[in-house]
Amino acid sequence: MTFNLSIEQALQFAGSALISSDSARLDARVLLGHVLGKPPVYLMTWPERSLTESQWQAYQQLLKRRQSGEPIAYIIGEREFWSLPFYVAPCTLIPRPDTEVLVELALERLSPQARLLDLGTGTGAIAIALTHERPDLMTTAVDIREDALAIARRNGERNQVSVDWRLSSWFDALSGCKFDMIVSNPPYIDPLDEHLQQGDVRFEPKSALVAEAHGLADLFTIIDAAPAYLNEGGWLLLEHGYQQSEPLLEYLAKPGWHQVQTCCDYAGQPRVTLGQYRVK
């Protein structure tokens, strides 16, 4: 018997199979496009085209993974950030649109040929986005996990940017280095936060999500250490949880920190706290 299943029929099946997803139709199209190696417009233009039996089997396997709640980005191994393509893997966080606010704020404050440091780089999304926009930057990016750094290096090559990738726990491998800006999206979720059992974060590495002291420990560690690694007038920009701006503003109320403020993400939630370090 000849196998005969159209794109339209496959998408109809997937829509029913993924009914528990808030984005079932989009998920179905993204996964099928991945299997076929075609863009979304192809699925809309040629709904009558037939799948091969092997394509149908591969599609069913991806649908099962999505039914279990596995993030689309991990299933297809990619995610877009700042209109750039990024490889992702379970050893890295999935880049999110909220973090683009951090990129925007950094671009507004970066001087020509600035030395930039990205702490806990993960996929390299922040470092690569900034360096792609500003090729004059001298960018260093660190992560404590070699597997995450391997992904970041691949992403740097893919997006044709030059970054000094280093294996380091925060500043440990940066002795004697000075920067004009330090950016970071560190772990900031409380270990007891109920959201850790919901959505995509169930599949993301806890080491990149969770910090002690109600999620503030790593943020405070970076703030304490940053002055020793910042040039005069250098900036520190930190992404954080929407309930953490007040303690961070209080923690930055120390001699040397100026223009301290919190900025909101696209949903209007407090998301990035920043300050400029000057001692003169």
Domain ranges of the chain: 5-69, 91-277
Q: Which fold has domain 91-277?
A: Rossmann fold (3.40.50)
The per-residue pLDDT for 195 is: 72
User: Structure tokens of 275?
Assistant: 């300050």
CATH of 5-69, one of 3.90.1570.10, 1.10.8.10, 3.10.180.10, 1.10.8.60: 1.10.8.10
The strands making up 163-167's β-sheet, listed across from edge to edge, are: 163-167, 138-143, 115-119, 179-184, 230-239, 270-277, 257-264
In the chain, count H helices and then E strands.
Answer: 11, 11
pLDDT for the residue 74: 95
CA–CA dist 60, 222 (Å, integer): 45
Tokens 């370090």, residue located: 277
Q: Are 134 and 107 in contact (CB under 8 A)?
A: yes
> What is the predicted pLDDT for the residue at 211?
86
In order of 26, 178, 203, 258, 269, the CA distances from 191 in angstroms are 32, 32, 15, 31, 21
pLDDT tens sequence for the chain (280 residues): 456 789 999 998 898 888 877 788 889 999 999 999 998 889 989 888 999 999 999 999 999 999 888 999 999 999 999 999 999 999 999 999 999 999 999 999 999 999 999 999 999 999 999 999 999 999 999 999 999 999 999 999 999 999 999 999 999 999 999 999 999 999 988 888 777 777 777 888 888 888 888 899 999 999 999 999 999 999 999 999 999 999 999 999 999 999 999 999 999 999 999 999 998 7
140: phi > 0 → left, psi -120 to 50 → alpha, else beta; which? beta
Q: Taking each helix axis as running N to C, give the angle between helix 53-67 and helix 24-36, from 0 to 180 degrees, rounded to the nearest 10.
A: 140
- Give the pLDDT of residue 1: 43
Phi, psi of 263 (to 5 degrees): -115, 150
Q: Please name the residues in contact with 142: beta carbons below 8 A apart, sequence gap of 6 or more.
A: 117, 118, 119, 120, 121, 165, 166, 167, 168, 170, 173, 174
Say if 5-69 and 91-277 have the same CATH topology: no
Show the tokens assigned to 15. Answer: 């829509």
Q: What is the pLDDT of residue 219?
A: 97
